[in-house]
């Protein structure tokens, strides 16, 4: 979906270039050649306008992509078949495949396009292709070349994107990826009015771990802590390493009580699971937007204040930024609240 938003304006400009070429060629080809391009453009407009309504938007995009290839094939068939100057146009939509789909999707699109090329050359003008096979070989070679190059470039881009949003040591999301997720949540809250919970956490006395055992052990502790945090979270709860021994968890839809319960579960897991071969603990501060509004700076400041309170109170505990205590269990006094 994100890539489709990026491609939409570029696709519009590409279609405008093709339309301009057809206008200049109208004297020789005829004005009717604009019709297939217009049909393809209308198809994309319709799908783009309703894309968010589809449960599987990739199928809708695949359908309109195939429509575009069919319209180009129709233009090729009516403007000379194997000799058509529009033959090269079939390679243009192939460039976008790797931006939306994995390797299987790219292969399926290439096979579909190659079949259209064979149909519009061998199927409609076998005699020409039999005596001059270059009219089929050259377009097929260009098609495969475009697919290979675009896929390699997209894979490289994805690798760089992944490196830019993931912490290289722990594999957790980093501060840069947090910024984009916060913006998404702000828009989501406007529609759903659901609360957003946040947990901030620090490894207790982490400096002592580095000083006493060395940075290699310290790194092992960070890796194991990150693994334990992720393991205890739901699939749609996102955990981030902000730097050093600081971690943050976003809990969409979580109330203050929910945040306290999750934080206490995480605290208990870390306390009872050796990290890097050592027994470590963590302090947690939590806050929830309550669903009424979503001010990220205020929410983060509240959770930070709760975290510092947990540290002042002796560490290895959960403090909730709430006017009321959010106790996880009646006999557990580790979870308190910042009034």
Which amino acids are annotated catalytic? 245
Q: Which helix (H) or strand (E) holds 123?
A: none
CA–CA dist 111, 147 (Å, integer): 11
Are 319 and 286 in contact by the 8 Å Cβ rule? The answer is yes
Q: What is the DSSP letter of 322?
A: S
Residue 327's SS3 state is: coil
CA 44 to chain centre: 22
Q: Which two tokens stand for residue 217?
A: 């052990």
Q: DSSP letters of 25-56?
A: THHHH-GGGHHHHHHHHHHHHHHHHHGGG-SS
Q: What is the DSSP letter of 121?
A: I
CA–CA dist 274, 284 (Å, integer): 18
Q: Classify strands 335-337 and 318-320 as parallel, antiparallel or unpaired.
A: parallel
Q: What is the DSSP letter of 276?
A: T
CA–CA dist 320, 259 (Å, integer): 8
Cross-strand bridge partners of residue 319: 285, 336
């Amino acid at each position: 979906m994100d890539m489709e938003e990026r491609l939409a304006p570029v696709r519009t400009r590409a279609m405008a270039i093709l339309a301009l070429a057809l206008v200049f060629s109208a004297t020789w080809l005829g004005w009717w050649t604009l019709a297939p391009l217009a049909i393809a453009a209308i198809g994309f407009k319709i799908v783009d306008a309703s894309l968010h309504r589809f449960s599987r938007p990739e199928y809708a995009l695949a359908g309109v992509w195939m429509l575009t290839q069919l319209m180009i094939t129709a233009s090729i068939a009516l403007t000379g078949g194997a000799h058509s100057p529009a033959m090269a146009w079939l390679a243009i939509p192939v460039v976008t495949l790797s931006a939306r789909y994995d390797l299987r999707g790219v292969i399926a699109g290439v096979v579909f396009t190659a079949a259209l090329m064979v149909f519009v050359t061998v199927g409609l003008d076998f005699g020409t292709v039999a005596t001059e096979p270059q009219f089929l070989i050259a377009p097929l070679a260009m098609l495969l070349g475009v697919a290979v190059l675009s896929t390699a470039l997209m894979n490289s881009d994805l690798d760089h994107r992944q490196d830019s949003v993931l912490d290289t040591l722990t594999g957790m999301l980093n501060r840069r990826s947090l910024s984009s997720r916060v913006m998404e949540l702000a828009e989501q809250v406007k529609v759903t009015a659901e609360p957003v919970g946040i947990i901030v956490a620090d490894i207790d006395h982490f400096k002592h771990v580095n000083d006493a055992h060395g940075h290699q052990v310290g790194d092992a502790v960070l890796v194991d802590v990150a693994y334990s945090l992720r393991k205890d979270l739901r699939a749609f709860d996102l955990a981030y390493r902000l730097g050093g021994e600081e971690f943050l968890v976003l809990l969409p839809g979580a109330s203050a009580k929910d945040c306290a319960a999750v934080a206490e579960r995480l605290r208990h897991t870390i306390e009872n699971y050796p990290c890097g071969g050592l027994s470590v603990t963590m302090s947690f501060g939590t806050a929830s937007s309550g669903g009424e509004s979503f001010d990220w700076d205020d929410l983060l400041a509240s959770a930070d204040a709760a975290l510092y309170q947990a540290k002042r109170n002796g560490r290895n505990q959960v403090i909730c930024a709430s006017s009321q205590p959010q106790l996880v269990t009646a006999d557990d006094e580790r979870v308190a609240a910042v009034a």
